[in-house]
Amino acid sequence: MRTIGEFSLKEIDELSYFDYFASIGGATLHPGGPLTTIEVLHHVALSPDELLLEVGCGTGATTLLLLKSGFNIRSCDINPRMVAATENRCQKEGYLFFHPDLASSEQLPYEDNTFRVVLLEAVFGFIKDFERAFRELKRVLKPNGYLAFVDMHYKSTPPSGVVEELGKIFGNPLPVLYEADWFTIFQKLRKIHWNTYDYPRGNYGKINDHLLQEKLKSEIPDEEKREEVFRALLNKFGVYESALNRNRQYLKYHVGIWQLINKDEVQ
Ligand X SMILES: C[S@@+](CC[C@H](N)C(=O)[O-])C[C@H]1O[C@@H](n2cnc3c(N)ncnc32)[C@H](O)[C@@H]1O
Footprint of ligand X (CB under 6 A): 18, 28-30, 55-58, 61-62, 77-79, 82, 104-106, 121-123, 126-127
Question: Given the complex with ligand X, which of 171 and 238 has the nearer CB atom?
Answer: 171
In terms of Cα–Cα distance, which of 64, 37, 16 is closest to 253? Answer: 37
Dihedral of CA atoms 118, 119, 122, 126 in degrees, nearest 10, equals -10
Question: Given the complex with ligand X, which of 77 and 186 has the nearer CB atom?
Answer: 77
169/22 Cα distance (integer angstroms): 15
Minimum distance from residue 107 beta carbon to ligand X (Å): 9
In terms of Cα–Cα distance, which of 265, 266, 260 is closest to 114? Answer: 260
Question: Given the complex with ligand X, which of 16 and 196 has the nearer CB atom?
Answer: 16
Minimum distance from residue 22 beta carbon to ligand X (Å): 7
50/205 Cα distance (integer angstroms): 29
Minimum distance from residue 125 beta carbon to ligand X (Å): 8
Minimum distance from residue 210 beta carbon to ligand X (Å): 19
Question: Given the complex with ligand X, which of 144 and 195 has the nearer CB atom?
Answer: 195
Phi and psi torsions of 244, nearest 5°: -70, -40
DSSP, residue by residue, 139-159: HHEEEEEEEEEEEEEESSPPP
Question: Given the complex with ligand X, which of 22 and 220 has the nearer CB atom?
Answer: 22
Minimum distance from residue 265 beta carbon to ligand X (Å): 25
Question: Given the complex with ligand X, which of 87 and 121 has the nearer CB atom?
Answer: 121
Minimum distance from residue 163 beta carbon to ligand X (Å): 17
Cα 128 versus chain centre, distance: 15
In terms of Cα–Cα distance, which of 262, 252, 122, 245 is closest to 180? Answer: 252
Residue nearest ligand X, CB atom distance? 58
Which three-class secondary structure string do you get for 173-202? CCCCCEHHHHHHHCCCCEEEEEEEEECCCC
